[in-house]
Structure 1
Amino acid sequence: MKKLSIKIWSLITLFLLITVIFMGFFTNFLYDQLYVKDSEESMIEVGERLQSNYKGGKVTDEFVEKVEDVNMYSIFNIFAVRNPKELSACVPFEIDYDTLIGPEERSDLLKGESVTKIGYEKRFEREVISVILPLTDQNRLEGIIYIYFPLERITELANKEVLILIGSIVLFSLIIAFFVHKGLRHIMRPLNELQLAVEKMSDGNYGTRVEVKSEDEIGKLSKTFNEMAAAIQREDEDKKTFLATVSHELRTPISYVKGYSEAIQHDLIVGKEKEEAIQLIHREANRMERLTNELLQLARTSKETEKIDMYPVVLSETIRESVNLLKNQAKQKELQIAVDVDEGLIVQGNDEKLMQIMINVIENAIRYSFEKTTIRVLIQQIEGNAMIQVIDHGMGIPESDLPHITEPFYRVNKARTRADGGSGLGLSIVKDIVKQHDGTLTIDSEIGKGTTVTITIPLLEE
């Protein structure tokens, strides 16, 4: 693959080549239209002035002498002859009479029109322009005025100025090439740095950054690269943390199950202790099953491409069903769940997913509420949305933890055991499901007073 600098140099060279070719054609155009045309018009003008002195009849010697007098002071070579064939004796080069004045030219001369000829002459080693003007009387060609002028070459028109011009062009091109080279190096430097940074990133060095040196497109590209690198680095760190956390979460129940099962297998535990060990194995197996299911659920809901079946759902029915499933858990802590719903609210959603949201949120409220308190579940319509609020009276969440509470495996109290705390995945799953329903999730809390979880989901459009 060619380097970008080579492509730019090729493009500049192409433009210069096109410019040179254009200037060549343009110079020839100016030569033909200005110099040659001007010479022709001047010759015709001189010839017509002399022609006006002819009064008809035979061409006199006096007229011929007058033309010769003009010839002595003119820049053009001018002759008047009675017979065109006499021109061979007047001009210093050979003239083909039949070519010079053929039938067509003779017809034009008899009409009183001038004839212009341009051709290369070896004698002068250049183009020669000639103008023939007729001397007619009663439709008879009594003679002609012949004017010729060797045209100068384009290079001769400017003489030394051409060399100066060419030298100036070469010098200017070298100066431009120098500054273009410097400019390209300056432009390409950050691009080269970006290329090296990308190569480092591809090798797994996600801490790579490039210096942003400007506010132009390349500067913006560098800034975007740094933002992308930071995002990839965060994602990589999150992935490592996630895997480490999953391993840690599974290691504890697996060690319990393995240790107690081996003890039972070798009859190291008997009687009541054996029953307790079996119960512990069962509990830890359930915890591993629940954690695995939550991980699978989190993986599914995190996929932006995943589409869920959406249909009209009566929200009050989903809420009541979720509360009924959790009543026994609430009774164990002597908690009351008060439900206040608007019966007419219908949303476009998935009943199973919405129930999963409510179970996770209410279960958290039960787990962290103070005993003998009331959990309130409120549903009302707010500006085209169904607003669900779950309000508990419990330990609350520190303000510093609120921004991270929906991150996978995040726990407010790091010292809590797996038995009295959740897996840390519930709110992550809730956040993703709410997002799938085009809704919002906000959590407000105050230490020692409780937490309010607010969810809004768009109502079904009528």
Structure 2
Amino acid sequence: MKKLSSKLWLLIVLFLSATVIFMYIFTNFLYEQLYVEDTKATMIETGEKLQAKYAGGKVSEELIADIEAFAAYSNIEIFAVRNPRELSACVPFEIDYDALIGTDERQQLLSGKAITKIGYEERFERQIISVILPFTDQNRLEGIIYLYYPLAKISELAKEEVILLSTGAIMFLLVAAFFVYQGMRKILQPLENLHQAVNQMTKGDYDVRVNVSLNDEIGHLSSAFNQMADAIQRDDEAQKSFLATVSHELRTPISYVKGYSEAIQKGLIEEEKREEAIQLIVREAARMERLTNELMQLARKENVQQEAQYDMLVLAETIRDALRLVSQKVTAKNIKLVLRLNEDIIVIGDEEKLKQVFINIIENAIHYSYEQSNIIIESDIVQSQAVLTVTDYGIGIPSEDLPHVTERFYRVNKARSRSDGGSGLGLSIVEQIVKQHKGNLKIASKLGEGTSVFITLPLMEE
């Protein structure tokens, strides 16, 4: 967080520097626009009032005396002369006549316009503003009024206020720095907490959470972190549970295979029971093979369907192919199959994978149905989608177990499922394959009455 705080401090310094530069430029602007322009306007106005006293002809001594008398009470230096060259004897600094009144300036005076000049004067060590107004009669320049005023420096204008302004600026910067520091601590503290939480999580502590006290971007980021932490923790717990379950599932058949193999090898099993032991080893080995195959299938990525062979399939024919493979189990339990299949439904999919789905669903229906009961298998088009329904009238599924039956290794009747070789992965695989085909799996059941499984698949686009 130090880097971020340094960046923020740098940004503030740059902002304050830009503010100082702006104020400097703005102050000079005010100096030029307000003070200088106001002084010039005042001098021109004063000169025009004195100019109005001139009645024409030669400039009289009385007029010059009147102007000098007015100047004695004015803060502006004012001189009236008949010949502009006489100014050198009047003003307390050198005047270059040719620079002061050149050809262009003389024409301007003859037209009755005032001339304004601003220049630096070493004697006063400051800028001098001067205004020249003409006394003209019949296109002749009879004399001029010369007004000048030493412009005050900005520091002189605010001489008394400079200390107050400087003190106020320093106090403001100190107070601003304090509140900025406190504000930055408050703003950056959640980020620091978030940084510490991330470090803890990288060390394997998935229980860490951050307090969400703000409803801004940082608060939203903290909430997102907590949600991510929840998801990671759930995934970690699920992974641990998955590995523990896999270990447990494999431990039993491995112990059987190992124990009976060693017993046969050491001759501890009687001849008449050896065949039974070998069959048990074969059964447990097949169980391990089936479990590892199912685990490999579940471990595949969700985009595995891109590698599968998708073809146009007549749904009714694929269902009948699956039924032929489970016909022996149907006969063994004396179950009657009721088929209500729509022969016109065509879907796009992987035939072998969909057949695996149908076999799994139908085998479950057979397995948990009562003997001599019915299983109804229907297919139809509902809202522009193909829907396969498999309904049995068996033992059903308890309502508290129903939301979990597609979870890996979840068993409704754990003892019975393990004894008959079930892994608890069948419906997880079914759900995965259905999702790969952009379909949906739904299960409805009532305990003691039976179960209905609904598989929805997209129709082939025409």
> For this structure pair, what is the TM-score category when the shorter chain's length is used for normalisation?
over 0.9
For these two proteins, the number of residue pairs brought into alignment is 461
Match of 1:128 in 2: 128
- 1:37-52 aligned at under 5 Å gives the runs 37-52=37-52
Q: Give, in whole Å, the separation in 1 of the partners of 2:135 and 2:88.
A: 19
Residues 444, 452 of structure 1: 8 Å contact kept: yes
Residues 323, 337 of structure 1: 8 Å contact kept: no
Match of 1:352 in 2: 352
Task: Give yes or no for the alignment of 1:286 onto 2:297.
Answer: no
Aligned-residue offset at 1:305: 7.0
Match of 1:251 in 2: 251
Residues 130, 148 of structure 2: 8 Å contact kept: yes
Residues 441, 456 of structure 1: 8 Å contact kept: yes
Match of 1:303 in 2: 302
Residues 287, 421 of structure 2: 8 Å contact kept: no
- Indicate the larger mover: 38-47 or 96-105: 96-105
Residues 346, 459 of structure 2: 8 Å contact kept: yes
The SS at the match of 1:120 is strand
Match of 1:85 in 2: 85
Q: Give, in whole Å, the separation in 2 of the partners of 1:236 and 1:409.
A: 16
- 1:376-395 aligned at under 5 Å gives the runs 376-395=376-395
Residues 417, 423 of structure 2: 8 Å contact kept: no
Q: Give, in whole Å, the separation in 2 of the partners of 1:353 and 1:102.
A: 105
- The one-letter amino acid paired with 2:410 is Y
Q: 1:92 to 1:305 in 2, by over 3 A?
A: farther
- The one-letter amino acid paired with 2:57 is G
Q: Give, in whole Å, the separation in 1 of the partners of 2:310 and 2:150.
A: 93
- 1:312-327 aligned at under 5 Å gives the runs 312-327=312-327
TM-superposition CA deviations, 1:273-294 (whole Å, max 9, x none): 2222222222122111111111
Residues 44, 131 of structure 1: 8 Å contact kept: yes
Aligned-residue offset at 1:250: 1.6
Match of 2:195 in 1: 195
Aligned-residue offset at 1:456: 1.4
Q: Give, in whole Å, the separation in 1 of the partners of 2:348 and 2:12.
A: 60
The SS at the match of 2:414 is coil
Structure 2 regions of 5+ residues with no counterpart? none
Q: Give, in whole Å, the separation in 2 of the partners of 1:28 and 1:171.
A: 24
- 1:358-437 aligned at under 5 Å gives the runs 358-416=358-416, 418-437=418-437
- Indicate the larger mover: 317-326 or 208-217: 208-217
Q: 1:305 to 1:200 in 2, by over 3 A?
A: farther
- 1:70-219 aligned at under 5 Å gives the runs 70-219=70-219
Residues 388, 455 of structure 2: 8 Å contact kept: yes
TM-superposition CA deviations, 1:316-366 (whole Å, max 9, x none): 111111111111122222223222111111223222222121111112112
- Indicate the larger mover: 254-263 or 350-359: 254-263
Aligned-residue offset at 1:216: 2.5
Q: 1:182 to 1:306 in 2, by over 3 A?
A: farther
Q: Give, in whole Å, the separation in 1 of the partners of 2:159 and 2:310.
A: 87
- Indicate the larger mover: 162-171 or 349-358: 162-171
- The one-letter amino acid paired with 1:132 is I
What is the CA RMSD across the aligned residues, in angstroms? 2.0
Q: Give, in whole Å, the separation in 1 of the partners of 2:305 and 2:26.
A: 65
Match of 2:58 in 1: 58
Residues 319, 358 of structure 1: 8 Å contact kept: yes
- The one-letter amino acid paired with 1:129 is I
- The one-letter amino acid paired with 1:399 is S
Q: 1:306 to 1:190 in 2, by over 3 A?
A: farther
Residues 129, 151 of structure 1: 8 Å contact kept: yes
The SS at the match of 1:281 is helix
Aligned-residue offset at 1:232: 0.2
**TM value normalised by structure 1:** 0.94
- The one-letter amino acid paired with 1:290 is R
Match of 1:340 in 2: 340
Task: Give yes or no for the alignment of 1:36 onto 2:36.
Answer: yes
Match of 2:271 in 1: 271
Q: Give, in whole Å, the separation in 1 of the partners of 2:12 and 2:431.
A: 55
Q: Give, in whole Å, the separation in 1 of the partners of 2:211 and 2:293.
A: 45
- The one-letter amino acid paired with 2:331 is K
Match of 2:227 in 1: 227
The SS at the match of 1:396 is coil
Q: Give, in whole Å, the separation in 2 of the partners of 1:366 and 1:421.
A: 15
Q: Give, in whole Å, the separation in 2 of the partners of 1:337 and 1:257.
A: 38
- Indicate the larger mover: 223-232 or 130-139: 130-139
**TM value normalised by structure 2:** 0.94
TM-superposition CA deviations, 1:227-247 (whole Å, max 9, x none): 110110010011111111112
- The one-letter amino acid paired with 1:106 is R
The SS at the match of 1:319 is helix
- Indicate the larger mover: 411-420 or 144-153: 411-420
Q: Give, in whole Å, the separation in 2 of the partners of 1:126 and 1:88.
A: 19
Identical-pair percentage:
59
Residues 406, 431 of structure 1: 8 Å contact kept: yes
- The one-letter amino acid paired with 2:265 is Q
Aligned-residue offset at 1:126: 1.7
Structure 1 regions of 5+ residues with no counterpart? none
Q: Give, in whole Å, the separation in 2 of the partners of 1:292 and 1:337.
A: 32
- The one-letter amino acid paired with 2:302 is K
Q: Give, in whole Å, the separation in 2 of the partners of 1:351 and 1:299.
A: 21
Residues 302, 436 of structure 2: 8 Å contact kept: no
